[in-house]
Chain A
Amino acid sequence: MIANRQLLLLTLLLIFTLISVLFSLLSGSVEISLGQLVSNFSSAENNLSRQVLEEIRIPRTLAAFVTGGLLSLSGVIMQVLLRNPLADPYILGISGGAAVGALSAILLGVSGFWLSNAAFGGAGISILLVFGIANKFGSWSVTRLLLTGVVVSAGWGAVINILLTTSSTNNVQSMLFWLMGDLSQSQVGVGHFLLLLIGLAGGLVLSRSLNVLIRGELLAVSLGISIRPLRLLLFFSASAFTATAVTIAGSVGFVGLIIPHMLRLLGARDHRMLIPCSILLGGSFLVFADSLARTLIAPQQLPVGVVTAVIGVPAFILILRSTIRK
């Protein structure tokens, strides 16, 4: 019976994913109908709508899906690793490091490839910094890790503010878009999808261990989990997923925090379910939010991070309310 309910949830999520992808492909300044979409894929004819699809909408939809999936997966892992419901992909300062990298690149006037590299480099430095400080004192406890992450985040925050207040207005606009999360410059390749697939597979393999670990470290030890290697693996994999996501789209908020909680409220508490569901809902939610971000006040675009918050917060509160036990 429980298995059926979970199967239903997974099916609904697959349908939602399909709908969000279609919605994303069909919305935008150039009108493309469903019929055109289908005929574009089946004919070799090269026209405007085909060009728009192939060069703009499909890459952007894919970028949104990968980013959302990675963030949501990272959120699930961080919440288990830190055993804290408030944990999100950014709690350990990864997005702060990436932001400092990206903003510095904007300040230096570079974009595209170099901006991505700068963001990824910043994230990497931040991961090593947090790991180094938390690990140096041997104990590598959850509290120490969390505190280190929060402090490092605060440090990056200060640097970000310095960069924002000392930059020209023109640069500040791009910086704000990066900080809020924006998919208009995003590029994804096979490698990104591969990483997401590896994350899915690895997460599924570890899902039983995650089910145990979330109940507490001591219990996990007593049930046969080697805590230290598992926690190192979780720390570095979640960090890699976050770093990749922020490199693609900047620090898109709320997805990594809210999607896992929404799914837990909807009944996907076992990680064997939670992990695939999170990737699907995280990805499709960001695809959906990004479609709105580029159409709501077209021709102007909103940063997608604003839209995720605007939809995410009320949706979350609604689910929270409707699942309160009597």
Chain B
Amino acid sequence: MATLQLQSLDIEIAGKSICQNLTVQIAANERWALLGKNGAGKTTLLHSLIGQRSANKGNILLDGVDIVNLTQRELASKIGILFQQGMDTLPATVFETAMLGRYPHLQSLFKDEPKDIDIARAALAAFDLQALSEREVDTLSGGELQRLALAMLLAQTPQVFLLDEPSNHLDVAFQVKLLSVLEEKIAENSASLLMATHDINLAARFCEHIILLLDDGEFLLGERDEILSEENLSKAYNCSIKSVTSGNQQLFYPA
């Protein structure tokens, strides 16, 4: 179990403010969505959380320890990320690729421990990839690659899962199916989730907390039902957004 705290965080990229004075705590078992229009800085914010770039001001704490005081490897053993742009398809098998997820935890320099192999196999099985274990990565379809990326993230067994546009390359059925699998695994491990997405309805379906990035470093954050309103979303996306209610689910669409 891990708690991720963002304290008075200021992040800028190329002179543009992504967020100013962002303070939020993501506790174990919580699921957060990060919403905002294209270019709002969702990816930049996620990259700051894995130490890929540093914040301009403020602190990021993992279980009370500032991440700048952690080694990259300690950080990677607790925070994992699914990247937006997918994976390079270098010559490698599906299994070899899933095993890369174990890197932050590996003890031995050469030997692959049975425990790590089992975890990687289980991760592949969770996303129905066990039959493709020995396949070359460059023979996979876009959807299979995205499932492999998710399996690799699962094999990393992080306590905080960061997802950057997880629905990329996935049809509607797979979006829901794969995120449900991931949600289940996250719950099993008492982990937490922060998912950047442009799909408001997907966010509403899987996350009970929302960070909504607005312009000029402003943002809204809080409970899903509080934040996801026609008014807030229209402001964030600079476009009129309406909603309908179907069953017990509220669905948003551009008017």
Is there an interface contact between A221 and B103, defined as CB atoms closer than 8 Å? no
Is there an interface contact between B72 and A226, defined as CB atoms closer than 8 Å? yes
Is there an interface contact between B109 and A204, defined as CB atoms closer than 8 Å? yes
**Per-residue 0/1 for A262-287: is the Cβ within 8 Å of any B Cβ (1 yes, 0 no)?**
00100001101000000000000000
Q: Please give the distance in Å from B184's CB to the nearest CB on chain A.
A: 23
Chain B: residues with Cβ within 8 Å of the partner, total of 31
Indicate the size class of the contact surface on chain A. 20 to 34
- CB of B75 within 8 Å of the partner chain: yes
**Per-residue 0/1 for B81-112: is the Cβ within 8 Å of any A Cβ (1 yes, 0 no)?**
10100011011100011001101101001100
**Per-residue 0/1 for B54-78: is the Cβ within 8 Å of any A Cβ (1 yes, 0 no)?**
0000000000000000011111110
Cα-based distance from A22 to B104 in the complex (angstroms): 44
Contacts of A176 in B (CB 8 A): none
Q: Please give the distance in Å from B103's CB to the nearest CB on chain A.
A: 4
Give which listed residue, B72, B83, B90, contacts A214 with CB less than 8 A. B90
- CB of B143 within 8 Å of the partner chain: no
Given contacts A223-B101, A224-B76, contact A272 B50 (CB under 8 A): no
**Per-residue 0/1 for A93-135: is the Cβ within 8 Å of any B Cβ (1 yes, 0 no)?**
0000000000000000000000000000000000000000000
Is there an interface contact between A225 and B72, defined as CB atoms closer than 8 Å? yes
Contacts of B80 in A (CB 8 A): 222
Is there an interface contact between A208 and B106, defined as CB atoms closer than 8 Å? yes
Q: Please give the distance in Å from B110's CB to the nearest CB on chain A.
A: 6
Is there an interface contact between A221 and B72, defined as CB atoms closer than 8 Å? yes
Give which listed residue, B51, B87, B92, contacts A219 with CB less than 8 A. B87
- CB of B136 within 8 Å of the partner chain: yes
Is there an interface contact between B83 and A219, defined as CB atoms closer than 8 Å? yes
Cα-based distance from A214 to B97 in the complex (angstroms): 12
Contacts of B47 in A (CB 8 A): 218
Within 8 A of A (CB), among B145-198: 156
Given contacts A208-B103, A264-B91, A325-B136, contact A224 B77 (CB under 8 A): yes
Q: Please give the distance in Å from B109's CB to the nearest CB on chain A.
A: 6
Q: Please give the distance in Å from A145's CB to the nearest CB on chain B.
A: 18
Cα-based distance from A224 to B104 in the complex (angstroms): 6
- CB of B52 within 8 Å of the partner chain: yes
Given contacts A204-B110, A212-B100, A215-B100, contact A222 B88 (CB under 8 A): no
Given contacts A223-B156, A224-B77, contact A212 B96 (CB under 8 A): no
**Per-residue 0/1 for B120-141: is the Cβ within 8 Å of any A Cβ (1 yes, 0 no)?**
0000000000000000100100
Contacts of B104 in A (CB 8 A): 223-224
- CB of A155 within 8 Å of the partner chain: no
- CB of A86 within 8 Å of the partner chain: no
Contacts of B52 in A (CB 8 A): 218, 221-222
Contacts of A270 in B (CB 8 A): 96
Contacts of A219 in B (CB 8 A): 83, 87, 100
Within 8 A of B (CB), among A143-191: none
Cα-based distance from A209 to B86 in the complex (angstroms): 20
Contacts of B81 in A (CB 8 A): 222
Contacts of B87 in A (CB 8 A): 215-216, 219
Q: Please give the distance in Å from B75's CB to the nearest CB on chain A.
A: 7
Cα-based distance from A272 to B110 in the complex (angstroms): 7
Contacts of B109 in A (CB 8 A): 204-205, 207-208
Is there an interface contact between B76 and A223, defined as CB atoms closer than 8 Å? yes
Contacts of B90 in A (CB 8 A): 214-215
Is there an interface contact between A223 and B100, defined as CB atoms closer than 8 Å? yes
Q: Please give the distance in Å from A160's CB to the nearest CB on chain B.
A: 35
Is there an interface contact between A211 and B76, defined as CB atoms closer than 8 Å? no
Most buried by B among A204, A208, A269: A208
Contacts of A264 in B (CB 8 A): 91
Q: Closest 5 A-B residue pairs measured CB to CB?
A: A224-B76, A224-B73, A224-B104, A223-B103, A226-B72
Instruction: List 18 other contacts, CB 8 Å, given A221-B50, A221-B72.
Output: A207-B109, A207-B110, A209-B103, A212-B100, A215-B92, A218-B52, A219-B100, A221-B51, A222-B83, A223-B103, A224-B71, A224-B77, A224-B104, A225-B103, A226-B73, A264-B91, A269-B92, A272-B110
